[in-house]
């Protein structure tokens, strides 16, 4: 027998509906990024939820780990943490970039003063990439894909 309606629409489920409505009308993490002067496409289209504290510490939960091919292959862990300040992310954890067959953690991302480049800090190294690469929210890929070898040679060419 089906459950009567008054049992389904109990006060607690009504509260849950209100909660779902209020969270869905809040800013998305992509909007938060643009509010902070960063491109929305820094994170793939798999953000499940996020939290942002008043001092900028954030936690982003993805539905699953993702690969995204920019000029380099990026890997996003399911949980990504860091600190957001205007034009930059520091203390970043959970995003790696593949460099010459090795995965390296990206520690920080800073928007250049002219707004045209992003500087990625990887250990002692830093590399600039055009902001335009991150304009669109990229698709979350479960696998690195077959084109990563081509992309690596492409990024080698662009670095020459």
Ligand X SMILES: *[C@@H]1O[C@H](CO)[C@@H](O)[C@H](O)[C@H]1NC(C)=O
| Residues near ligand X, by CB under 6 A | 81, 83, 91, 93
Cβ 55 to ligand X shortest distance, Å: 9
Residue (39 or 94) nearer to ligand X, CB: 94
3-state SS class at 27:
coil
CB of 142 to ligand X, least distance (A): 24
Q: Minimal distance in Å, beta carbon 56 to ligand X?
A: 9
Q: Which is nearer to ligand X, 83 or 141 (CB)?
A: 83
Rounded (10°) CA dihedral 99, 91, 28, 30: -40
Q: Which CB sits closer to ligand X, 51 or 158?
A: 51
Q: Which is nearer to ligand X, 40 or 81 (CB)?
A: 81
Structure tokens, 148: 């990563």
SS3 call for 160: coil
By beta carbon distance, the residue nearest ligand X is: 91
Q: How far is the CB of 94 from ligand X (least distance, A)?
A: 8
Minimum distance, C-beta of residue 53 to ligand X, in the bound complex (Å): 10
- Six-digit token string for 137: 């929210």
Which DSSP string corresponds to 43-73? Answer: S-TTEEEEEE-TTSEEEEEESS-EEEESSSE
Close Cβ partners of 79 (under 8 Å, ≥ 6 residues apart) = 59, 60, 61, 62, 94
**40 or 90: whose CB is closer to ligand X?**
90
CA separation for the pair 61, 44 (Å, rounded)? 11
């Amino acid at each position: 027998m089906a459950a009567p309606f008054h049992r389904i629409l109990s006060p607690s489920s009504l509260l849950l509906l209100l909660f779902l409505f209020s969270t869905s009308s809040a800013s998305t993490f992509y909007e938060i990024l643009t509010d902070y002067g960063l491109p929305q496409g820094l994170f793939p289209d798999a953000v499940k939820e996020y939290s942002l504290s008043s001092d900028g510490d954030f936690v982003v939960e993805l539905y699953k780990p993702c690969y995204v091919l920019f000029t380099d292959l990026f890997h996003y862990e399911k949980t990504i943490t860091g600190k957001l300040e205007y034009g930059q992310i520091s203390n970043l954890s959970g995003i790696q970039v593949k460099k010459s067959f090795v995965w390296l953690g990206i520690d920080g991302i800073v928007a250049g003063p002219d707004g045209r480049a992003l500087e990625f800090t990887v250990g002692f190294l830093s590399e600039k990439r055009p902001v335009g690469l991150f304009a669109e929210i990229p698709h979350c890929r479960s696998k690195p894909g077959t084109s990563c070898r081509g992309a690596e040679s492409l990024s080698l060419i662009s670095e020459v």
